[in-house]
């Protein structure tokens, strides 16, 4: 199997994993629907409420709204480009006026790789860490950045550093950053379900405590059960979605 066949195989596996990610979201909806069915059913479970289309529509709309808003918030927070991510990681923007020789060499390599790949020269960031690591961040080639650790530019020779930078450019060229941001956004939306579940559980525990009437106690129990269920579904869903996201990232390393 040659290099291009490996690339095609990695793209196919990425597509499969993204489909699994979408199926995980569908499974979360199904779990929430079953939870809502048990909470709102006053009869036995066999009384067909599990197939109530009105309830299914409400749960689907609520799930889509919560996950969608969480996703939108995360994507907007990263819309400032790779600069936002680099600065959040503690990166420092490098200037071409720097007199540090390893930094100059790194900047020259970034320019060479940009020219070779036909992409804009991305801003370059340095993180003051002794380990060898690098990253590319941003939503598109126009707002992408490349960052490396101090250990990366000082411990690697020019050829090795060139290979590292070329690899990060491949992430920019193949749109890996955009895909990763979308998956991160959806994951954030799933975690928002867990967060809402936690607050519903808190409200339910307060409503069910103390001397309250029967209706208030029933509402408190429903909120407590619903919140606990949402908390569990949100965290379990986020766990599996995060595993799939990590698998997607591994496949993109082969491109």
Per-residue pLDDT tens over the stretch 85-120: 899 889 999 999 999 999 999 999 999 999 988 889
Average pLDDT, the chain: 85
* CA neighbours closer than 13 Å in the CB half-sphere of residue 108: 11
Write down the pLDDT at residue 48. 45
Active-site residue (options: 5, 112, 159, 168): 168
Q: β-strand 134-137 against 124-127: which pairing, if any? A: unpaired
C-alpha–C-alpha distance, residues 221 and 95, integer Å: 60
The answer to whether residue 111 is catalytic is: no
Task: Compute CA distances 47 → 33, 50, 53, 54, whole Å.
Answer: 15, 8, 14, 15
Per-residue pLDDT tens over the stretch 140-169: 888 899 999 999 999 999 999 999 999 999
Tokens of 43: 């009869």
Per-residue pLDDT tens over the stretch 48-75: 455 678 888 888 899 999 999 999 998 8
* Domains of the chain by start residue, with CATH: 3-79+177-252 (no CATH), 82-174 (3.30.2010.10)
Q: Would you state the torsion angle of the CA atoms of residues 247, 249, 254, 255, taken in this order, to the nearest 10 degrees? A: 130
Q: What is the average per-residue pLDDT within 214-218?
A: 60
Instruction: Identify which of 40, 150, 4, 19 has the alpha carbon closest to the alpha carbon of residue 90.
Output: 150
């Amino acid at each position: 199997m040659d290099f291009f066949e490996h690339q095609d195989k990695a793209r196919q596996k990425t597509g499969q994993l993204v489909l699994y990610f979408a199926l995980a979201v569908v499974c979360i909806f199904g779990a929430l629907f079953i939870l809502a069915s048990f909470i709102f059913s006053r009869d036995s479970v066999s009384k067909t409420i599990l197939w109530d289309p009105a309830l299914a529509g409400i749960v689907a709309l609520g799930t889509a709204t919560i996950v969608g808003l969480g996703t939108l918030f995360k994507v907007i927070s990263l819309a400032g480009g790779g600069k936002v991510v680099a600065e959040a990681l503690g990166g420092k923007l490098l200037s071409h006026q720097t007199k540090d020789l390893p930094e100059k060499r790194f900047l020259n390599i970034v320019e060479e790789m940009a020219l070779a790949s036909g992409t804009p020269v991305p801003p370059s960031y340095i993180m003051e860490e002794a380990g060898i690591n690098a990253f590319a961040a941003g939503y598109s080639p126009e707002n992408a950045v490349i960052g490396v650790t101090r250990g990366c530019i000082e411990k690697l020779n020019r050829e090795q550093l060139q290979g590292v930078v070329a690899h990060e450019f491949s992430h920019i060229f193949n749109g890996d950053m955009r895909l990763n941001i979308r998956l991160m956004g959806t994951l954030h939306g799933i975690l928002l379900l867990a967060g809402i579940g936690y607050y519903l559980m808190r409200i339910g525990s307060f409503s069910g405590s103390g001397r309250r009437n029967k209706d208030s106690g029933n509402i408190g129990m429903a909120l407590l059960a619903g919140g606990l269920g949402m908390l569990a579904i949100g965290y379990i869903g986020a766990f599996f979605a995060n595993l799939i996201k990590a698998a997607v990232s591994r496949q993109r390393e082969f491109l």
